[in-house]
Chains A and B, each alone.
Chain A
C-alpha cells in the first residue's frame, strides 16, 4: 500500500527558506506513470497546487509561486523535496505531498508550517 510522509521544519522565520521532504513507501518514485507533487492549504482555506516533479527531474510549477519554488527528487532514497524561498506569513499552511496521475490520487497526511519570527 502506497504511503507518503512529509517531514521538515514546522516553524520558519520570514524571509527564510521553507524546506520539506516527502518520503514514499510501498511503491517506487521512479514509476513512469506518475508525477509527484506538493499542494498547500492555509488554515481554514482552500487548496493550492504548488508544483510537481517526474522521476527524471522534469518539473512544472504554479506561476504564482514559480519564482520562489524548487522541487527536486532523490530516486535512491525514494524521496522528493520542496524548497520555498523568501517566505512570508501568507505561506503559513498545511503542506501536502501527493502522487499524481494527472490528478493527485494519494496524499500524505500533511504537515503544518508556520511562518513567524
Chain B
C-alpha cells in the first residue's frame, strides 16, 4: 500500500498569498496517477487536479499541480476567500487507492 504524507498539517495564510502544499508518497506513484481534492465543511470532496498536473473541468487556473515519482505539490497562486478549506492528495496508480491525511488552509 502506498502511504501519502501531506505537509504541513495546517497552513495559515492571508487572502492574496500563495499556498504551497506538499504530498510525499512512500513509493513511486505509477504514471503520476496523483489527484488533489478540496473539501469544505459539510461537503463532499471536489476534484481539482488529476494526473498530477491536469486541472479538472471548471477549476480556476489559480490551482496548479506538479511533481512526479514520490513528491507532488499543489500550488494556489493567490488565495481567494473561497479557497480556505482542507486539501487531500490521492494516488490511483495502484490498489488500494489511498489518500493523504489532508492539509488545512486557514485564514491567518
Residues of A within 8 A of B (CB): 37, 46-49, 52, 60-64, 96, 100-110
Whether the Cβ atoms of A46 and B101 lie closer than 8 Å is yes
Whether the Cβ atoms of A102 and B33 lie closer than 8 Å is yes
Whether the Cβ atoms of A105 and B47 lie closer than 8 Å is yes
Whether the Cβ atoms of A46 and B102 lie closer than 8 Å is yes
Q: A46-B88, A47-B90, A102-B92 are in contact. Are A107 and B44 (CB under 8 A)?
A: yes
Whether the Cβ atoms of A49 and B101 lie closer than 8 Å is no
Bound-complex Cα distance A104 to B50 (A): 10
Whether the Cβ atoms of A49 and B45 lie closer than 8 Å is no
- Nearest 9 A-B pairs (CB), nearest first? A107-B44, A103-B35, A49-B97, A47-B99, A62-B96, A102-B92, A103-B92, A105-B47, A46-B101
Whether the Cβ atoms of B95 and A47 lie closer than 8 Å is no
> 28 interchain pairs (CB within 8 A)?
A46-B88, A46-B99, A46-B101, A47-B45, A47-B88, A47-B90, A47-B99, A48-B99, A49-B96, A49-B97, A49-B99, A60-B95, A62-B96, A96-B45, A100-B92, A101-B50, A102-B92, A103-B47, A103-B50, A103-B97, A104-B35, A104-B45, A104-B90, A105-B47, A105-B50, A107-B44, A107-B45, A109-B43
For residue B95, which residues in chain A have a CB less than 8 angstroms away from its CB? 60
For residue A48, which residues in chain B have a CB less than 8 angstroms away from its CB? 99
Q: Which residue of A lies closest to B102 (CB)?
A: A46
Per a CB cutoff under 8 Å, which of A62, A63, A102, A109 touches B44? A109
Q: Which residue of A lies closest to B50 (CB)?
A: A103
Q: A104-B47, A107-B45 are in contact. Are A64 and B92 (CB under 8 A)?
A: no
- Using a Cβ cutoff of 8 Å, how many contacts connect chains A and B? 52
B65 within 8 A of A: no
Bound-complex Cα distance A104 to B1 (A): 18
**Cβ of A107 to closest chain B Cβ, rounded Å:** 4
Inter-chain pairs besides A47-B99, A48-B99, 7 sampled, C-beta below 8 Å? A49-B97, A49-B99, A52-B97, A64-B96, A104-B35, A104-B47, A104-B90
Q: Which residue of B lies closest to A103 (CB)?
A: B35
List B residues 36-68 near A (Cβ within 8 Å): 43-47, 50, 56
